Structure 1
């Protein structure tokens, strides 16, 4: 993959230093995804479907009867409200990143199902239009994604407990909604940006691991010298576009399909609507995020094609 054209040299600083152009880089990412929409969808749809299916089954098992859910499985900050959701989603998110970056590195992408056992023993069979792979690179990337999400979400849960404890210590009981609402809103906005910032860099480090074949966050950070904030801004713009499309469509569907005087939907219907609407936007979010990371890495990091192609060619 050749360096992207949205970078300009700055001879006054260094003949090798490049500066990202935010608007043109975002446009380049969307143009790449538009031009390769079908191959990218084929690469991503099945892992994202497995994510939605796994989370739906988890929600059905745990929350069909909320009173029976063990408290140690529950935690704020997860969707669904259990830390198991991070573990279920991580391998499939790692697959999407790997498959998109494989394509951007021009690695072979025949439709297939690959399940590795060890290094030499490989079981594989082809299913047109479907990609699934379990191997060391996927599992290591999934471990990093799950660990970061668990850490951030448990931090949010702990922050909420500290907020409640501080309000109880400084206010008379019972707490009024006006005492709680401003703090909860402020905490929500802070967590949104802090969590997004952490997710941006996690995606970059995971992508760099899949791109180069080695985990080198320091080298990845140094490679983006002078472009750290620009990179964050680019990915935040991509996140914001996906979020606006997702919640705008969810609101429109809710207004059209659920009349104002209708009875409250059942748990099963709510679950199906939630995960059914989430699936296409999970595909869009992960594909755009991976394409953004691949575009940046294509300019600042050299892909280790030798480490990618054997895994992709199996």
Structure 2
């Protein structure tokens, strides 16, 4: 495993401050992932597979029969359009972050599958090529991820309701597509940037918790003194590259899977296109995000024992 190199060689503004170079940091992240592609894939593929599988089953249960799902489970701010999706995906996303950061910190691994029900109660199964862990650090990180995703999802849903209410109050009924489309487009662009901003800082704070062993967002913020905007720009570049690749593949897959005669695709085809084609890029999204966070934390935050102790616990 190639050890992660920090940004210590970057020029400093003062003895106490280092400056992130955006292009060099992005290149360093991709170079690290290229050099360690197989170990990182082994660390991430199974949690991402479980995410895809659970979300697909959730969508199949709730949306295979239109009108079957209880309305209190539905919310348009999530994908699939139920707030349960944020809760289902959070533990597996936390696992990927923990596993990638463990590798970047060169933490020992004693067993691939680790199930923890407490500090002293540990079960391990050595299954090559498969990694799963359920413990205190994973659950705490998942709780933070789920809370932020629920907050953002409900905010998007509430924003949509306010938009509809405002249009109904200022327009004559019925509303035409021309009345709604400009506002919906503007709201979508705003949500992409606002949601992305919240997401990248959530990733950093979750990564810092897994990296140092303590939840200290203020200390993490201060450690990046003078680099806050650079960090956001780096994360946006990484996520934008993944998004372009992902939606390009989904579009190409849609052109292949959707019948040429214009007939509506089956629900199963839509599920295959939405979840199956997106899975490799969900792996890439989480691995690159975690690697970016680990690269920056490696330069500005000393690694704690949190990423080493869980893997080495007796």
Q: What's the TM-score once normalised by structure 1's chain length? A: 0.96
Alignment partner of 1:8 is 2:11: yes
Query: Does the 8 Å CA contact 1:205/1:215 hold for their aligned counterparts?
Result: yes
- Greater mean deviation of Cα atoms: 209-218 or 105-114: 105-114
Per-residue deviation, 1:39 = 0.1
Per-residue deviation, 1:301 = 0.2
Structure 2 counterparts to residues 134-213 of structure 1, below 5 A = 134-213=134-213
User: Which whole-Å CA distance do the structure 2 matches of 1:153 and 1:313 have between them?
Assistant: 37
For 1:227, the equivalent position in structure 2 comes to 227
Query: Does the 8 Å CA contact 1:6/1:20 hold for their aligned counterparts?
Result: no
For 2:104, the equivalent position in structure 1 comes to 104
Query: Does the 8 Å CA contact 2:29/2:292 hold for their aligned counterparts?
Result: yes
Alignment partner of 1:125 is 2:125: yes
- Name the SS for the 1:67 alignment partner: coil
Indicate how the Cα distance of structure 1 residues 259 and 5 shifts in structure 2: closer, same or farther if over 3 A, else same: farther
Alignment partner of 1:308 is 2:311: no
For 1:294, the equivalent position in structure 2 comes to 294
User: Which whole-Å CA distance do the structure 2 matches of 1:170 and 1:262 have between them?
Assistant: 37
For 1:237, the equivalent position in structure 2 comes to 237
- Name the SS for the 1:20 alignment partner: coil
Alignment partner of 1:89 is 2:92: no
* Paired positions, count: 310
User: Which whole-Å CA distance do the structure 2 matches of 1:177 and 1:210 have between them?
Assistant: 47
For 1:33, the equivalent position in structure 2 comes to 33
Indicate how the Cα distance of structure 1 residues 130 and 118 shifts in structure 2: closer, same or farther if over 3 A, else same: same
Per-residue deviation, 1:258 = 3.2
Q: CA RMSD in A?
A: 1.2
Query: Does the 8 Å CA contact 2:46/2:131 hold for their aligned counterparts?
Result: yes
User: Which whole-Å CA distance do the structure 2 matches of 1:311 and 1:31 have between them?
Assistant: 28
Query: Does the 8 Å CA contact 1:48/1:279 hold for their aligned counterparts?
Result: yes
Per-residue deviation, 1:118 = 1.3
User: Which whole-Å CA distance do the structure 1 matches of 2:195 and 2:52 have between them?
Assistant: 22
| 1:143-163 deviations in Å (ceiling 9; x for gaps) | 000000000010010010001
Q: What's the TM-score once normalised by structure 2's chain length? A: 0.96
- Name the SS for the 2:133 alignment partner: strand
Per-residue deviation, 1:259 = 4.2
Per-residue deviation, 1:5 = 5.1
For 1:266, the equivalent position in structure 2 comes to 266
User: Which whole-Å CA distance do the structure 2 matches of 1:273 and 1:110 have between them?
Assistant: 37
User: Which whole-Å CA distance do the structure 2 matches of 1:251 and 1:76 have between them?
Assistant: 22
- Greater mean deviation of Cα atoms: 103-112 or 218-227: 103-112
| 1:167-214 deviations in Å (ceiling 9; x for gaps) | 000111111111111111000000110000000000000000000000
User: Which whole-Å CA distance do the structure 2 matches of 1:126 and 1:224 have between them?
Assistant: 38
For 1:55, the equivalent position in structure 2 comes to 55
